[in-house]
Copies of this chain bind each other. A is one copy, B any other.
Amino acid sequence: MNVKATTCKGTRDFNSSSVYKREYIINIIKSCFRNYGFSPIETPSFENSNTLLGKYGDEGDRLIFKILKSGNFLKDVDINILSNPIDNLNILSKNISDKALRYDLTIPFARYVVQNQNEIHLPFKRYQIQLVWRADRPQNGRFREFLQCDADVIGSKSLLQEVDFIHLFHDVFNKLRVPNFKIRINHRKILLGLSEILDLKDKFIDLTVILDKIDKMGIDKVVDEVLKIGLKSSLKPTLIDYLNITGSFNDRINYLKNILAESKIGMEGIEDLSYVYDNIAKQKLDNNSLELDISLARGLNYYTGVIYEVSTNNNVKVGSIAAGGRYDNLTSLFGLNNVSGIGISFGLDRIYLLMDSLKLFPEIDKLNTKVLFINLNKNFDQFVINAVTELRDNNINTDFYPDIVNLKKQLKYANNIKVKYVVIVGENEFKKSKYLLKDMYDGSQSEHTLKSLIEKLK
């Protein structure tokens, strides 16, 4: 029985060219992480279900891929549930599945810190570049399997970390030569302060969800929506003032100080952002790349302090390409209290789409095979293999055509795989112990001994 050869919805094969380009991005991110004092860790692709479920809200739980138990997966299921499975879908799911694919790298990192707390030294700085999986509806820039590149520091409340991550964003996108990137920053305490001032403390989450949509909805619509969740009309002008904040970073800080003057927590957030801004190295602030964005809220509710999002002003619509923020007490989910952390994540797949559209990748030909030996006669096997081996031993990426077919077909193959050089051994060359080198790009030819061939190609 033939099976149709297809990948699953939302997942992709990567050919060599994509792999090389992905590696190019990963290597730059990785070298920046190391440059900033982060060390790598890796965690397993799946975790116990109770490590992941309940950490990302109901929507998150729904999007987590659950793994069926091996063997008799029904053995722990209560007979009453089995007799009415459709009404007990959630319980049944938890009974027949005890593992799940990781949804992000942050919760597994928190689990790692707690599990390995005797081995690590706080403040602990780690980076982690691994796949995550979400059963999301696939669309442009959103996949069911994608790669996250995370850096986190855990065990320090110092605002110098907040400063440092802005430098890191800057360095990564600068080195990738991404033009017009914008690092937007806000503070969860400013949002909390706003909810206090608007007398909407108990509607905080709803308020942040609405604010986050300001780009799509515009100010008027946002005000309407906030009125719907209970904003008193007397406080409408305050909200409008807030949403109309504009100007330089320091201008915005000053406006906020007026609006949130009555909120202690709001003022704490402003003070933090003010310190962060004052301490950014001036060379990392080119192109007005940092913006205080009072509508930035971030979906994940574990954030408690500064939050970031990086996007670009190019025509390519891929959403945010990096994001992050400070979270307090994430490790307390696993029993380790009073540990503050801050972290950021680069979305490799979106950065890739952006860079590919803008043609920002360098030539990657040098990673490919440099020379292909043409195979014309079984009697020359040893003579050819010997040369192939010598070239490889001299670190020249070398291949040979494996079958004896006509020259034209072999040269066509050489063109297809875009190899720069071919080596031809005919009767003539074989007798003289020589190799005919042909440059496939410009068509030039030259005859070589093995030694001069190596020198030429090295």
Contact = CB atoms under 8 A, between A and B. Distances in A.
Contacts of A249: none
Nearest to A335: B2
A115 B65 CA distance: 25
18 contacts: A2-B332, A4-B334, A6-B115, A8-B44, A13-B112, A14-B43, A19-B41, A35-B395, A36-B392, A36-B397, A36-B399, A37-B369, A37-B398, A45-B133, A46-B65, A68-B97, A74-B92, A281-B385
A143 to B, nearest CB: 9
A333 interface: yes
Nearest to A16: B39
A44 B396 CA distance: 31
A65 B66 CA distance: 10
A153 B283 CA distance: 50
B67 A67 contact: yes
Contacts of A99: 8, 65
A68 B70 contact: no
Contact of A403 (B82, B116, B133, B156): B156
A43 B367 CA distance: 20
**7 pairs of A and B residues whose beta carbons are closest in the complex:** A37-B399, A11-B44, A158-B402, A16-B39, A5-B114, A5-B334, A5-B115
Contacts of A93: 68, 73
Interface in A263-312: 279, 281, 283-284
A34 interface: yes
A123 interface: yes
Interface stretch (A159-167, A189-197, A220-228): A159-167
A39 to B, nearest CB: 4
Nearest to A333: B3
A268 to B, nearest CB: 17
A115 B13 contact: yes
Binding site of A, secondary structure by majority: helix, strand, loop or mixed?
Answer: mixed
A145 B375 CA distance: 41
B65 A65 contact: no
A199 interface: no
Contacts of A361: none
A434 interface: no
Interface stretch (A47-55, A205-213, A233-241): A47-55
Contacts of A12: 44
Nearest to A368: B39
Interface of A: 2-8, 11-16, 18-20, 34-37, 39-48, 50-51, 62-63, 65-68, 70-74, 82, 85-86, 89, 92-93, 96-97, 99, 101, 111-112, 114-116, 119, 121, 123, 125-126, 131, 133, 135, 145, 153, 156-158, 160-161, 163, 167, 171, 279, 281, 283-284, 332-335, 367-369, 372, 375, 381-382, 385-386, 389, 392-393, 395-403, 413, 416-417
B389 A50 contact: no
Contact of A19 (B36, B42, B111, B398): B42
A278 to B, nearest CB: 8
A402 B161 contact: yes
Contact of A40 (B16, B67, B89, B116): B16
Nearest to A416: B121
A160 B400 contact: yes
Contact of A402 (B72, B86, B160): B160
A42 B13 contact: yes
Nearest to A110: B5
